[in-house]
Structure 1
Amino acid sequence: MKKQRVIVSVINDLNTDQRVHKICTFIENQGYEVFLIGRVLKSSQKMEARSYRTKRFRMFFEKGPLFYAWFNFRLFWFLLFRRADILVSNDLDTLLPNYLVSRIRRRKLIYDSHEYFTEVPELISRPKVKAVWERIERFVFPKLQFVSTVNDSIAQKYFEKYGITLKVIRNVSPLWKPSTVKSKAELGIPEGKHILIMQGAGLNVDRGVEEAIRMMPHLQNCALIIVGDGDIIPDMKTLVSTEKWDDRVFFYGKRPYQELLQFTQQADLGLSFDQPTNPNYLFSLPNKVFDYIHTSTPILCSNVVEVSKLVRKYRIGEVITDFDPLALAKQVQQVLENPALIAEWKANCTLAAEKENWEAEVGQLASFYPKVHE
């Protein structure tokens, strides 16, 4: 007898989406056959090996409305003619084809909202485009039965909007138990300096990258390492080169997840400077925060709801409110000059990791994907 198949779709190149990978692994461990669908661009790296099947659509268009329309068109026809017992849509930009196929073929549909999609800055500044996505969401969302999201704040917003209770499954990191820990020299990180890290797959506008870079000339014996990518990174590389800050700011690009954590554990402080310029960022809880916790890297964060709540709860860092370059540097310098405080925060990170881990969080998924009995 063939296993029940779950087709999971997301509109990225799969390699850097740890939430989707963790959920796919869980589903597979429940006894299902998993097939993950994404897309590949010219800039995409080679697909990492996975224990489940993957497919990435090649795209005629790489951005803009035609990109989304082409992906959704291909996804609809792909899902329509593939065997599937359950369809899983990740974020609003894959929801419509999944919903239509689930109705046509009478299949169970699960929707996982990674963010407060219609309030992302890319849509707030483009009201006509936002209206299209709002219309899709209003058409489909009230009809959904199985919906999850990444934190309590976003779940509450959707409840207020549609009266639907969402299951909260946070994007918590798995327990980190590396067989070896690489040195700064092996990773190419400057030695003999305090290290700050900002990481992530979505280092975009208002994520605090520019604020972190502009404080660096005011810090003593300190280097900022940026591991990841996003739409603001090309401009930031130009800024660093123009201002001749190359000895203070270092870009390492996208890295495989386990390698990323090697960089993270070498940092003295982890930065999460999302600016509350839109509801999506105000209520965000980025995965990097949990990566910092699991590598015992204390956190300096902006005063966004979910992150600041976590930092204060476990006393694992400090909440920053003034992002003027000089004022920000002064706050960071004071922390770096207090090794006892950093040591206390590191110890608290270790304790927090024992509670805030994927191995504990994953139990929330059991109601969506019950174990397949042989």
Structure 2
Amino acid sequence: MKVIYVRSNPVDPDSRVEKEVNSLIKLGYEVEILAWDRENSYKVTESYLDLKSGKVKIYRFGLPGSFGGGIKRNLIPLFKFQIRLYSWLVKNKSKYDVIHACDFDTAFLSSKVAKLFKKKFVYDIFDYYVDAFSVPKFAKKIIEKIDHNVINSADAVIICSEKRKEQIKGTNPKKLLVIHNTPEDVKEDLKDLNLNKTKIKIVYVGILSSGRFIKEIAEVIKNNKEYEFHIGGFGVFEDYFRELSQKNININFYGKLPYKKTLELEKSCDLMVAIYDPHIPNHYYAAPNKFYESLMLGKPLIMVKNTGMDYVVAKHNIGEVIEYNVRSLKDGIDNLVKRRSDWPGMSIKMKDLYNQNYSWTMMELRLKELYGELED
């Protein structure tokens, strides 16, 4: 069975896409990827992603846009991307049996093409669109209604946590599957970086945009020379953190990192953060990569109350759950540092949680079952 995987970013990197595609290749499926490169302008390029299970061809459409810039700034680029996407899917309809579309900005059009050419359609919801993005109020109900129709028409729908079932309440998917944003267990393959052992090292790698409290983290840490902030990723705040790292010895900016390098950096630091604005509805249902990565690596985690998996952190005492303000952030970091002697015990507990409830081996079996049903 041939699968075309569709994503509205360049997959450079995209940990969830890469894990799922790698697993599908491992399971014997032929997979190619369609992606949107927002940093360049060109018709289409063909290249390959080197994954653990083999090389995967990726087609990137070069259409300038922004990450974290909101729907208003990206409306015209998104429309152009839809045209390119439709054209490719129609011209290359013999190249795939399944369209695996990520999020509403690829799923709506993909569902129409799948129906037109009698292809199987999988809707993988990384983020529920009307809750995750700045959708104009007048359009929200319309988009949500369309999104529900896409969910109901899909051969299968994937969500990233049990909690997300509440978010799509009112839909009736034919097949609903939970695949957590957990990493593959690659701890033994990760290098230890030569970082300063005398400092408390706090790490964040991801999208550099508002709503993640990363500027505030940097402000807290830059004024405390006992701490270091190690930050990587891409987005609208790239220049800000590049300049900040040049002015502050305890702020280290890495730019965009391959996923393995991200995990190596996290493994080499002491504390992780997954801080999201609780006023954004989607963040209540968030299943951040950082949560799962912290479990696998055994690194204490700071999260905000009522965002995603915070209840797991609180229940198992494996970090700090804070309010969404600078004072609470500072207190959370200081509290964890005071509990430094507890970190080894936390680490064991976190790795056990990963292995028992969230391991990628378990997620891969769910994918195997789903795609086996699509073939029947």
Q: Same fold (TM over 0.5)?
A: yes
Gapped runs of 5+ residues in structure 2?
42-46, 67-73
CA contact (8 A) 1:175 1:358 kept: yes
Aligned residue among 89, 93, 108 for 2:105: 93
Q: Distance in 2 between matches of 1:230 and 1:182?
A: 27
Q: 1:269 to 1:154 in 2, by over 3 A?
A: same
Compared CA separation, residues 35 and 323, structure 1 to 2 (3 A): same
2:116 maps to 1:111: no
- Deviations along 1:112-156, whole A, 9 cap, x unmatched? 000121112433xx3356566435424433322311111122222
Offset of 1:305 from its aligned partner?
Answer: 4.2
| Residues in 1 aligned to 2:153 and 2:374: alpha-carbon distance in whole angstroms | 26
Going from structure 1 to structure 2, the CA distance change for 1:192 and 1:313 (only over 3 Å counts) comes to: same
Contact 2:40 2:63 in 1 (8 A): no
Any idea what SS the aligned residue of 2:100 has?
Answer: strand
Q: Which residue in 2 is equivalent to 1:177?
A: 187
From the superposition, tell whether residues 252 and 229 of structure 1 become closer, same or farther in structure 2 (CA, over 3 Å). same
Partner of 1:55: 58
Residues 232 and 267 of structure 1: is their aligned pair in 2 closer, same or farther, counting only changes over 3 Å?
same
Matched-pair contact (CA < 8 Å) for 2:48–2:58: no
Equivalent residue number for residue 344 of structure 1: 345
The aligned amino acid for 2:249 is D
Which of 217, 228, 232 aligns to 1:227? It is 232
AA of the residue aligned to 2:118 = R
Say yes or no: does 1:75 pair with 2:85: yes
Secondary structure of 1:162's counterpart equals coil
Conserved in 1, the CA contact under 8 Å of 2:304 and 2:310? yes
Consecutive unaligned residues of structure 1, counting only runs of 5 or more, are none
Q: Residue 53 of structure 1 aligns to a residue in which SS?
A: strand
8 Å Cα contact 2:283/2:308 also seen in 1: no
Change (3 A) 1:43 1:247: farther
Aligned equivalents of 1:258 and 1:95: distance in 2? 28
Give the whole-Å Cα distance in 2 for the aligned partners of 1:349 and 1:333: 20
2:164 — aligned with what?
154
Tell me if structure 2 keeps the 8 A contact 1:30–1:369: no
* Counterparts of 1:141 and 1:162, CA distance in 2: 7
What is the alpha-carbon distance in structure 2 between the residues aligned to residue 180 and residue 206 of structure 1?
30
Please tell me whether the aligned partners of residues 220 and 333 of structure 1 are also in contact (alpha carbons under 8 angstroms). no
CA RMSD between the two structures: 2.6
Indicate the residue corresponding to 1:214 in structure 2.
219
Q: C-alpha distance in 2, partners of 1:103/1:10?
A: 19
Q: Which residue of 2 aligns with 1:300?
A: 302
Query: In structure 2, the residue corresponding to 1:122 is in which secondary structure?
Result: coil
Which one-letter code corresponds to 1:13 in the other structure? P
- Superposition map of 1:164-203 within 5 A: 164=173, 166-179=176-189, 181-184=191-194, 189-200=195-206, 202-203=207-208
Distance 1:227-1:361 versus aligned 2 partners, 3 A rule? same
Whole-angstrom distance in 2 between the partners of 1:15 and 1:61: 15
Amino acid at match of 1:192: T
CA shift in 2, pair 1:283/1:203, >3 Å: farther
Cα distance in 2 for partners of 1:173, 1:210 equals 26
Deviates more, 1:299-308 or 1:244-253: 244-253
- Kindly tell me: are residues 70 and 322 of structure 1, through their superposed partners in 2, closer, same or farther at Cα, counting changes over 3 Å? closer
Q: Which amino acid aligns with 1:349?
A: M
Partner in structure 2 of residue 257 of structure 1: 259
- Aligned-partner Cα distance in 2 for 1:313–1:275: 21
Q: Does the 8 A contact of 1:274 with 1:304 survive in 2?
A: no
CA 1:190–1:246 in 2, change beyond 3 Å: closer, same or farther?
farther
Cα separation, 1, equivalents of 2:324 and 2:112: 47
Task: Tell me how far 1:339 sits from its aligned partner.
Answer: 2.1
Cα distance between partner residues in 2 of 1:92 and 1:180: 34
Shift of 1:215: 1.6
Find the aligned partners of 1:102 and 1:220 in 2 and give their Cα distance. 56
Retained in 1: the 8 A contact 2:99–2:121?
Answer: yes
Q: Is the CA contact 2:49–2:57 (under 8 Å) kept in the aligned structure 1?
A: no
Specify the alignment match of 1:334 in structure 2: 335
* 1:102 corresponding residue in structure 2: 114
Once residues 28 and 60 of structure 1 are traced to their aligned partners in structure 2, the CA distance between those partners, rounded to angstroms, is 28
Instruction: Give the TM-score taking structure 2 as reference length.
Output: 0.86
Deviations 1:97-116 (A, max 9, x none): 21111111111111100012
TM-superposed deviation, 1:334: 3.0
Q: Is the 8 A contact 2:211 2:277 kept in 1?
A: yes
Distance 1:47 1:256 in 2: 14
Aligned to 1:319: 321
| Worse-superposed segment, 202-211 or 134-143 | 134-143
Change (3 A) 1:7 1:230: same
- Judged with a 3 Å threshold, the aligned counterparts in structure 2 of structure 1 residues 140 and 372 are, in CA distance, closer, same or farther, namely closer
What secondary structure sits across from 1:37 in the alignment?
Answer: strand
Distance 1:352 1:113 in 2: 24
